[in-house]
Structure 1
Amino acid sequence: MGIVERKEREREEMRELILEAARKLFLAQGFDKTSIRNIAEAIEYSPATIYLYYKDKNELLFSLHEAGFQKMMQEFANVAVVKDPFEKLVALGNQYLKFAIENPELYDLMFIMDAPMETLSCREEAWDEGARSFEFLKTTIAECIQVGHFKNTVDIENASLTIWSFMHGLLSLHLRKRMAFFEDDREMERIQDSFKLFVEMIRCSM
């Protein structure tokens, strides 16, 4: 490995070290209470080192969001091969559940953690990854409509928001331990049963 390649690898490793520390602190103590100095202390470097890679903690949050959505979209690629539009929609829901359950901290940071959305929306570049995931859902619903499903649906965006809201609500209850009051060991089973019921409700409304 040459000098240039080695330095680039070292820079990438440092970026990952900073991002991992920021992710843990954002989730543990909140975005507002986390400072660049806190992150620097966590990795035992000076704040000046972090500023060589990220201009502020807003950029750190953006990078974490972007990485999360990239990972989610990579997993959504497994769904793209499903030919029947409605079955693709069901498969997308299952993949979304799987992603959140297997990556709870990442999902928390992407969708639940309290953080100022202006840190994402005010950037000059578009939040491409976040928008692309919602467009994937919209496209799948549009395909369902084209083959005769959702006959009473005219607003694809609203239908997408409704489906996403159910999925997010179900997962939020799980990730925030709000299903513990059932006092049994059937939480994963309940999540799957609830999702199946939701699918049948959609199917029956067509």
Structure 2
Amino acid sequence: MSKLVMGISERKEREKTEMKQLIMSAALKMFLEDGYAKTSIRNIADAIEYSPGTIYLYYKDKDELLYEVQGLAYGELLTAFKKNATSTNPVEKLVQIGKTYVNFGLDNPELYDLMFIIRAPMNVDETIHKDNGDQTFDFLTDCLKECISQNLLRLKDVNMGALQVWSMSHGMVSLNLRCRLKIMEMTEDQVRETLAASIENYIASITL
């Protein structure tokens, strides 16, 4: 009997996970294609051919669903960091992190907008994507700690260093996403090369 109960419990948990994945997949697609503001719970429900009530069994509102989608996006950025920022030299690794961040934003503009540019909802539990968000930020701060411990940077405060590197990278991506770099009359390839060079030059400027 206990095996039967456990089997039913496992099946229900699997079905719950599959349904959440279905909802998140549809929500992400619509957020990216139609925009967050224009997407409703009913739109998402229609896309997966379920009632809105079904979605409310898993998410209290669209804002909570956005936060979970953002968590998946942070996971994608973390995967990109792990794949592309692999140098054993911490300063070179810091450059790789900056370039990876910029390329991620340029390659995924709508997703980047969801992650970092639209106003964050204020009525949700921020721990929903805390793990992925924290791990992504820790990837940067761990690299900075290593640079500082080896006396490789002019900066001595990890948080200040993280804020400066992140702010510069984010600022460049955001300017491009909002078409503010058009004034420089560069092709997309030139934009990418210029932003990558800017990352290198900035980190060189704070390197001892």
Instruction: Indicate the TM-score class for this superposition, using the shorter chain for normalisation.
Output: 0.7 to 0.9
Paired with 1:126 and 1:107, the residues of 2 have a C-alpha distance of 15
RMSD: 2.9
Q: Report if the CA contact (8 A) 1:120-1:127 is conserved.
A: no
Residue 11 of structure 1: CA displacement? 6.0
Paired with 1:52 and 1:6, the residues of 2 have a C-alpha distance of 17
Question: Which residue does the alignment assign to 1:189?
Answer: 193
Residue 154 of structure 1: CA displacement? 3.1
- 2:54 corresponds, among 37, 49, 52, to 49
**Pair 126,114 (structure 1): closer, same or farther in 2 beyond 3 Å:** closer
Matched, 1:19 2:21: no
Paired with 1:83 and 1:52, the residues of 2 have a C-alpha distance of 47
1:167-178 equivalences in 2 (<5 Å): 167-178=169-180
Q: Could you say what secondary structure the match of 2:83 adopts?
A: coil
State the TM-score, normalized to the length of structure 1.
0.79
**Pair 8,58 (structure 1): closer, same or farther in 2 beyond 3 Å:** same
State the TM-score, normalized to the length of structure 2.
0.79
- 1:40 corresponds, among 39, 45, 54, to 45
Deviation per CA, 1:98-117: give whole Å up to 9, x if none: 22222222211111122325
Counterpart amino acid of residue 65 in structure 2? L
1:65-144 equivalences in 2 (<5 Å): 65-79=70-84, 81-121=86-126, 123=127, 127-144=130-147
Paired with 1:63 and 1:101, the residues of 2 have a C-alpha distance of 22
Residue 183 of structure 1: CA displacement? 2.8
Residue 70 of structure 1: CA displacement? 1.1
Paired with 2:125 and 2:102, the residues of 1 have a C-alpha distance of 24
Counterpart amino acid of residue 136 in structure 1? F
Q: Percent identity?
A: 44
Q: Could you say what secondary structure the match of 1:190 adopts?
A: helix
Q: Could you say what secondary structure the match of 1:119 adopts?
A: coil
Structure number with the higher helix fraction is: 2
Q: Report if the CA contact (8 A) 1:30-1:114 is conserved.
A: no
Paired with 1:116 and 1:43, the residues of 2 have a C-alpha distance of 24
Residue 95 of structure 1: CA displacement? 1.7
